[in-house]
Amino acid sequence: MASPPPSASDSNGHFAVNIPRHHPDHTDDDAPHRQDDDDELIDPDDPFDITQTKNASHDTLRRWRQAALVLNASRRFRYTLDLKKEEEKEQKKSLIRAHAQVIRAALLFRLAGERELVISTAATPATPVGDYTVGLEQLASMSKDQNVAALQQYGGIKGLSNLLKSNPDKGISGDDGDLLKRKNAFGTNTYPRKKGRSFWRFLWEAWQDLTLIILIIAAAVSLALGIKTEGLEEGWYDGGSIAFAVLLVIVVTAVSDYRQSLQFQNLNAEKQNIQLEVIRGGRTIKISIFEIVVGDVIPLKIGDQVPADGVLITSHSLAIDESSMTGESKIVHKDHKTPFLMSGCKVADGVGVMLVTGVGINTEWGLLMASISEDTGEETPLQVRLNGVATFIGIVGLSVAVLVLAVLLGRYFSGHTKDLDEKPQFVAGKTSISDAVDGVIKIFTIAVTIVVVAVPEGLPLAVTLTLAYSMRKMMADKALVRRLSACETMGSATTICSDKTGTLTLNQMTVVEAYVGRKKLDPADDSSKLDREVLSLINEGIAQNTTGNIFVPKDGGETEVSGSPTEKAILSWAVKLGMNFDLVRSNSTVLHVFPFNSEKKRGGVALKLGDSGVHIHWKGAAEIVLGTCTQYLDSNGDLQSIEQEKAFFKEAIDDMAARSLRCVAIAYRSYELDEVPSNEEDLDQWTLPEHELVLLAIVGIKDPCRPGVKDAVKLCTDAGVKVRMVTGDNLQTAKAIALECGILASIEDAVEPNIIEGKTFRELSEKEREQIVKKITVMGRSSPNDKLLLVQALRKGGEVVAVTGDGTNDAPALHEADIGLSMGIQGTEVAKESSDIIILDDNFASVVKVVRWGRSVYANIQKFIQFQLTVNVAALVINVVASITSGDVPLNAVQLLWVNLIMDTLGALALATEPPTDNLMNRSPVGRREPLITNVMWRNLLVQAIYQITVLLVLNFRGESILPKQDTRAHAFQVKNTLIFNAFVMCQIFNEFNARKPEEMNVFRGVTKNRLFMGIVVMTFILQIIIIEFLGKFTDTVRLNWTLWLASLLIGLISWPLAIAGKFIPVPKTPLSRYILRPLRRLRRSRAAQQ
């Protein structure tokens, strides 16, 4: 079921910065309503109003930083994009690229001169290194200078591989001893990484907070005055206790930040650990990029990253994108004339095999990576918005602090501030200077501490904390986050455009049905009734027209088939038919290859046979290959015209597709050798003939649905997230799988435009696409460009789009989407680099878990905001009212610092790390423009804040008469203030439970599962007991008897039933912020119009 369009009433607008802000389905009747719906519009005057930081300009990012009220910039902006470092990084890259360009220019100049003078280029003589007859310096020099003459002098590829004790076909032996020797002689494929910040650096950054510095200075002055007036034994308590509290805040902050940093470091290391295929001992195996050594033989295909410097062994139409090294987005074609490959470049087209000649720091890419800091941070939309919230609250807090300072100083110097004996604390001409300074410092310290509490410095950092926690947990759920903001945006996703193969299905393919001519093989691998010539042609087409490989162990072990799942299925079928892979390949020579192309849906190869004949083999989407065939070979080996039988073959394809089989056709044609281009340049540009083909076979490949995918799709639908399938497969196959997965509810839904072919969608005008896009559920035979058009049309319709992709050509769609999800197993490196999140197991169920985590991030931040704002409001009001009326504050500097620690660091740890609940998937997606503080949150926090303020002010003004009589008035005053402090902290501990479930009655559900939350609550409670009972000298408190402890607990405990009662208070659907902001925006617009 499609999710409802965003409306004003639910405030779920999902509009990005660069798209029209209207819904195509709205009628003109909605016009007045739309004009009022101001919260859907981006406010150009608000620097914090950024819906998407993906691809945001540096100017936009710089603007919000400058607008934020920040007490500690080095800490606040630690995980945001370091704009200065980013510019330095680009400068370093351009320097290294310039160096590479200079070397190439010098090389071309030298080669041109040598051709004129006919002088041969002498290579540096090979110097033996250990067991190898060529050294590291010679290899590095040859690669960096791209010296073809040196390669020829070493004996070409064959000679060089012999010098490196490798084999161009089978690679190195790959045993532990061999690998160790190679690493010792030529280095490892790693580069020195810049060390992460040490704990001491975090400690230093935590110290940079302006308010904490002021407090330390105030503590030092207070300490000096205290010791001077009261002596060392008693005089150090006031100043020392503030200093100790500040140090405690700094240490706890640094420890929390350091732990986060370690989590990010581990995740960054995981991002760089690329898995790729190498050939060792004749077998194709997968290893980490860091395990590659000199001498390795590596197959390359479209979308791969070149993992090290090397030389081409063989290639077909190989094109390399060297922009990562040269800075120019120019595709360079590689062949035996230009055989050198640079590490870090991407394969743009074709296939090839390379021999590794340089790794790690001995490559230009290694030097580049070692010289730049890889991770320069990134901000998320939520982080930016929270900086806006923190700035607003900070300005209010700063104003309150200035007011308190002015009132207290006025009362102090006017003689209205009295001590416990009702005597003025300051009398002009009588009070000593040191006493006056001491009094002023205490007042100033209180004002500064109010700023510490009032400016929620930890609020934006709570996003980083919850994201770090979520990212670590998401790794366990098989999702690797490359871009932090994607975590959040997934919580707002309204649609997921998913691939079929490997995401909704298992990617475990087997040929279960096969037609050769009109004959259906039963079973599919029964070759007994096939003509020998037909079987020979099928085997030839399968063995040569493939990127897969077959390894037969010499000891007679099980045959190993490698390649993509489709290739493996077809190769395995051919092996069962009796194909000898190596023998068939040795009987012909490959002249030219047309690699499989997702646009054309087929791939081909031209072969030169032993008798100088030429065969051209094609393999691809059954109905497309069938359309290019004019004849077919029957099972007896006789050529027959296909015209009369096309209906039969189409029916066979539709029948297989309706049973969710992927249909692949294999065809060939003979060709004259004279017509094949003879020189290499023309051969590279030659277009393989693709008409008048002879059909050899049609196979049906079964790829079963993943278990649990139907439940995952239902979960998404219930959560208001529409799942759309986008596949290159036949529309009938796509329909069958969509019905099986629950994407299509019934066969009645399987009509246009619910299901549509990519070609049909592509041919529509932009306006027509936007009109039908909401209805599309399945798109078959789609090209990567169709996927891009679908994403663009959905986003223009106001959808927040997540899209999955695995191929190189999917990169534009992954980049365009709000969230790009690449596949960890089948995905190419180009797709992964364009994506925001990598789904490590290629499973759709993992995509749904990412949605759950995205919503959890938002929910956890809201819990923390509700908790923190309750403390802020209560602490500020209590101190302001008390200071204005009595000239004293019940919560002193040390106590406020402890409250700040509970509120900021410990509160964030407890609430920002709540695991996601199933309840999150029962609500609609989070609107990207939905206010951070909802009406429900306002209700909850006001109920708690009003209760706390009322109780604590009653205690402040009537406490001495309510509480049991004490021996002295001074002691009674201290007992009253201690009870206020203790009750205030108890309220926060109990309210932490309320913040867990802002909308639910039962706030205790699942609380025991969150050990961190329980640990922090217990630790806070124990520390509070220690503070009251044993640290009275530091905190200016006295011990409380058990009745007062019970009273404190009871005051805190009442917040639980109060929270339940508060949830019965109805709240309006329209956010409060809209009522406040709408008049302001209208006023701003009218002023702008007048100007």
In this structure, what are the phi and psi dihedrals at residue 106, rounded to the nearest 5 degrees? Answer: -65, -40
Which position has the token pair 């620690």? 901
Q: What is the DSSP letter of 305?
A: B
Residue 433 tokens read as 């200077």
Distance CA 956, CA 977 (A): 7
- Rounded to 5 degrees, φ, ψ at 524 are -65, -25
CA distance 263 to 282: 39
How many angstroms separate the CA atoms of 638 and 559, rounded? 33
Question: CB within 8 A of 96, min separation 6: which ones?
Answer: 364, 367, 368, 371
- Looking at 499, 786, 904, 1036, which residue is catalytic? 499
CA distance linking residue 928 with residue 945, whole number of Å = 28
**362 contacts 140 by C-beta, under 8 angstroms:** yes
User: Could you tell me where the DSSP H helices lie in 285-380?
Assistant: 323-326, 364-371
Cα 272 to Cα 275: distance, rounded to the nearest angstrom: 9
For 121, which DSSP code?
Answer: P
Closest CA to 387 of 376, 395, 377: 395
Q: Where are the beta strands (DSSP E) in 499-625?
A: 510-516, 519-521, 549-551, 560-562, 588-597, 602-609, 614-621
DSSP-based helix, strand, coil % in the chain, nearest 5: 55, 15, 30
Integer Cα distance of 2 and 6 in angstroms: 12
Q: Are 894 and 1034 in contact (CB under 8 A)?
A: yes
114 phi and psi angles, rounded to 5 deg: -65, -35
Any idea which residue has 């599962």 for tokens? 1009
Inter-residue contact 614 to 607 (CB < 8 Å): yes
- Helix axes 136-145 and 83-117, enclosed angle (nearest 10): 90
> Using the 8-state DSSP alphabet, how is residue 129 labeled?
B
Nearest to 341 by CA among 309, 304, 307: 309
Give the DSSP letter of residue 124. P
519 secondary structure, DSSP code: E
* Spatial distance between the Cα atoms of 956 and 879, rounded to a whole number of angstroms: 10
Residues 493 and 851 sit within 8 Å (Cβ to Cβ): yes
Residue 496: which of 709, 753, 658 has the closest Cα?
709
The answer to whether 1083 touches 43, Cβ cutoff 8 Å, is: no
Q: Write the DSSP assignment of 868-898 as a string of letters.
A: HHHHHHHHHHHHHHHHHHHS--SS-HHHHHH
Q: Helix (H, G, I), strand (E, B), or coil: what is residue 764?
A: coil
Other Cβ atoms closer than 10 A to 582 = 12
Go through the chain and tell me how many residues it has: 1091
Dihedral sign, CA of 80, 85, 86, 89? negative
| The 3-state secondary structure of 453-518, one letter per residue | HHCCCHHHHHHHHHHHHHHHHHHHCCEEECCHHHHHHHHHCCEEEECCCCCCECCCCEEEEEEECC
How many angstroms separate the CA atoms of 893 and 218, rounded? Answer: 11
Is 499 an active-site residue?
yes
Extract the tokens encoding 453. Answer: 């509490």
How far does Cα 3 stand from its chain's mean position?
A: 25
Catalytic residues: 499
